[in-house]
Chains A and B, each alone.
Chain A
Amino acid sequence: MQTSIPNPNEPSTPAEAMSRRAWRPRLSARFETRFSPYAFVAPFFLLFFAFGLFPLVYTAWVSLHSVTLQNTEDMTWVGLDNYSRLLHDPLFWNALGNTFTIGVLSTVPQLLMALGLAHVLNYRLRGRTFFRVAMLMPYATSLAAATIVFAELYGRDYGLINWGLGIFGVHHISWETGNWTSQIAISTIVTWRWTGYNALIYLAAMQAVPEDLYEAAAIDGASRWQQFLKVTIPSLRPTILFTVVVSTIGATQLFGEPLLFGGVSGHRGGSDHQYQTLGVLLYDQGWFNFQLGRAAATAWTMFLIIVVAVAVNAFLAARGWNWWHPRERRAARA
């Protein structure tokens, strides 16, 4: 590919430079070389401007106005009022806390389990293909269907989970109404759906780890567990960073699971807002209270939170790693 594109920095032959007829093709060749890459990437950026950047900027514009869903043309400029109102709204801080706790409750076990699963699936197993496909099935399931089934499983009076717990003498946990129980229930839905997906990503990365690293470790007398800790995990570092970032973004935007889990009171995240995430708060403001300006302010605040969270992740991944492995750091210094 690369060789077929003429390099504009290449000195042109004297014959070409003197010929006026050659001038035109040369210009068009230079033009092509300079601008054709932009043409190739243009479809993506045009779509991105239309469906990514424009909504982002327009949402910022809307967030500075008081505007209702019923009458979107009638916008009143209110400056930063929507933001100051949001920061003084206990519901916002509640939703932020819930988003964080549900995020931790779902992301941490999810990634740890994915790592373990990937490690196991990396061995020669009977029916390995079946397990690998089965693992990804939750990801292919519709979110709504899965959540509604889980809501039934966690039912207070006739739910399967309470029935199972009843055998062990634990009675009638009202999963949906409790603060922690509801958040745990929602986290299990998220974990169930995404563990296989992450495991598959880890598995792909594990298969790219050079075999001789393991051989060398084995010769040095490292056990399987030590090999996993000292060879597999460090080799997976960029992949782990990727999954952590993606999961963090996903957790911050968590919406469908709490909304559908709550049934009638899903839009408020439970009757006491006990599992109202930022996404659900936004939806409640915009589509139940019809206050689009406030919803837009919440959306932008969420966006900023995600940017900060990802930056913190990246920083920790870069710095924290050395802190976590002091020996490597010492080696790097020496």
Chain B
Amino acid sequence: MSTARRKPHRLFRPLTLVATIAAVVAAAGCGSSSDSGGGGGSASNEKVTLTVGLFGTFGYKEAGLYDEYMKLHPNITIKESSVEQEQEYYQALQTHLAAGSGLDDIQGIEVGRIAEVVQTESDKFVNLNDMGAGGLKSTFFPWKWQAATTSGGATIGLGTDTGPLAICYRTDLFKKAGLPTDPEQVGQQWSTWQGYLDVGKQYMQNAPAKTAFMDSASGMYNAIIGQSPTQYYDQSGNPIYETNPAVKDAWNLAMQAISANETAALKQFDPAWNEGFANGAFATIACPAWMIGYIKGQAGDSGSGKWDVARIPGDGGNWGGSYLAIPAASPHQQQAYDLIKWLTAPAQQVEMWTKAQHFPSSSTASAEPAVEDATDPYFSNAPLGQVFKTSADNLPVVTLGPKDGLIKDTFSNGILLVEQQGQSPQTAWDKTMADIKSAIE
């Protein structure tokens, strides 16, 4: 055995050092997770913490509605947690519902999922009609109310907002490309989707460097689908995504946009897409009402005054919008109901529209003059109220189905196969069909 060592054993010291660092990092990483305290009961002066689980930007907190409510009801504390991606949010919600734990007192549900929840999970939510919601029915758009009601007559969610459609566009880029910028004139040019694509061709001829006419073909596709009363299911609940001519038409228009190189080939809701707003990578985007707030958030102050809003080609249509529901597992059902009733009441819906551009799902609210009069300096003082009100008035009564959300995502993904990967439209269509079938059958 040799005793003379060329290399001393000093491995141990770095290891302990690293272990210490790792422990510190781990300890710092564990954020404080707060729990909603308080037991059951419904005494009106009892201190109650209500938890609200949402996705994307509902905007209640930002618009100060929680603070307002807590001032009116000093015994209530509201805690909101929000997940950016709806897909991830819904998946976690499903897991929590299956386990019967981890649920918030109030949960948001997107319109693409409402049919699935109504048809398969209504027993896991409070029937709001039992709490006296029946009297509110007449204040909502009938289709919005109906979509959250089971065949047995149980209503499990109150509508928050809807997504009437418009096109948001960058006046500065339009000017550079030599196009008219006045929303009236612009809107007339694209009275149809074909017209929209033609404007796109003109734009691309003189397009400023590193910009495209639209953000993504899937954005345009989803807007077109949002105008059709039948989408992925027929009225008897059978999936018709493969045969519905409205779906095929929307797909073909998206393919035209791609082959004319009019899109920035971005994936919606991806970080690169978000950066695209700030960097001015595209001149137009299909704009459901909730997109207004999204643009402001992503494009930031530097985008102020550069955007404008024009009517959507083909008029009308809805993309998105949500509900608030109360899981049956909630220990504070009465307090939770009082809160969602207040949040979705016409007065608050008008406030959410004027402050945060979430268009009302309440027919009473949308008839208020304040809704139609709304303008926004960020969007060059465009008559936002008028544009979206017109679209909302032309809203089709859409037939929803249980897997709408999943099918919509898969179609958006299928368009990317052509847009980002250069596959042929036929290949992409076939793959999309295969993907949907594999997922829902």
Contact = CB atoms under 8 A, between A and B. Distances in A.
B98 A69 contact: yes
Nearest to A203: B11
Interface stretch (B238-246, B250-258, B416-424): B416-424
Interface string B75-99: 0000000000101000100110110
Interface in A93-139: 122-124, 128-129, 132-133, 136-137
A52 interface: no
A264 interface: yes
B6, B85, B269, B281 — which one has the most chain A CB atoms within 10 A of its CB? B6
Contacts of A136: 14, 18
Contact of A215 (B2, B17, B416, B434): B2
A322 interface: no
Interface stretch (B104-112, B271-279, B348-356): B271-279
A210 B1 contact: yes
Interface size class of chain A, counting residues whose CB lies under 8 Å from the partner chain: 35 or more
B298 to A, nearest CB: 14
Given A72-B98, A265-B413, A272 B421 contact: yes
Nearest to B10: A129
B417 A211 contact: no
Interface in A278-292: 287-290
A70 B271 contact: no
Nearest to A152: B271
B97 A264 contact: no
A263 interface: yes
Contact of A157 (B91, B98, B281, B439): B281
B14 A211 contact: no
B21 interface: yes
Contacts of A204: 11
A334 interface: no
A263 B57 CA distance: 18
A190 B9 CA distance: 29
Contacts of B431: 272
Contacts of A158: 272, 275, 279
A174 interface: yes
Contacts of B6: 124, 211, 214
Contacts of A287: 91, 94-95
Given A69-B95, A212-B2, A265-B413, A271 B22 contact: no
A193 interface: no
Interface residues of B, number: 51
Contacts of B94: 69-70, 287, 290
A203 B12 CA distance: 12
A89 interface: yes
A128 B17 CA distance: 14
A259 to B, nearest CB: 11
A70 B420 contact: no
A267 interface: yes
B406 A288 contact: yes
A70 to B, nearest CB: 6
Nearest to A145: B29
Interface residues of A, dominant DSSP? helix
B267 A265 contact: yes
Contacts of B414: 271
B440 interface: yes
B415 to A, nearest CB: 9
Contact of B29 (A124, A132, A142, A265): A142
A152 B274 CA distance: 12
A65 interface: no
Given A211-B4, A288-B91, A157 B272 contact: yes
B438 interface: yes
B270 interface: yes
A155 B91 contact: no
Nearest to B120: A70
Interface in B1-30: 1-2, 4-7, 9-11, 13-15, 17-18, 21-22, 25, 29
B87 A264 contact: yes
Nearest to B276: A157
A133, A152, A265, A268 — which one has the most chain B CB atoms within 10 A of its CB? A265
B29 A140 contact: no
Contacts of B435: 268
Given A129-B14, A140-B25, A288-B406, A271 B98 contact: no
Given A69-B95, A133-B17, A288-B406, A177 B420 contact: yes
Contacts of A69: 94-95, 98
A204 B439 CA distance: 48
A51 B276 CA distance: 45
A251 interface: no
A228 to B, nearest CB: 14
A223 interface: no
Contacts of A296: none
Contacts of B270: 263-264
A158 B278 CA distance: 12
B98 A177 contact: no
B121 interface: yes
A91 interface: yes
B281 A91 contact: no
Given A271-B413, A287-B95, A140 B18 contact: yes
A157 B281 CA distance: 10
B4 A70 contact: no
B268 interface: yes
A287 B15 CA distance: 38
Interface in A133-172: 133, 136-137, 140, 142, 151-152, 155-158
Contacts of A288: 87, 91, 406, 439
Interface in A199-225: 200, 203-204, 207, 210-212, 214-215
A203 B269 CA distance: 44
Nearest to A209: B7
Contacts of A12: none
B5, B17, B85, B435 — which one has the most chain A CB atoms within 10 A of its CB? B435
A68 B263 CA distance: 38
Contacts of A2: none
B153 to A, nearest CB: 22
A71 interface: yes
6 contacts: A128-B10, A142-B29, A155-B275, A289-B439, A289-B440, A290-B94
Given A69-B95, A142-B29, 9 more contacts: A137-B21, A157-B281, A174-B420, A203-B11, A214-B6, A264-B85, A271-B414, A287-B94, A288-B406
Interface of B: 1-2, 4-7, 9-11, 13-15, 17-18, 21-22, 25, 29, 85, 87, 91, 94-95, 97-98, 120-121, 267-272, 275-276, 279, 281, 406, 413-414, 416-417, 420-421, 423, 431, 434-435, 438-440
Closest 4 CB pairs of A and B: A271-B416, A132-B14, A177-B420, A211-B2
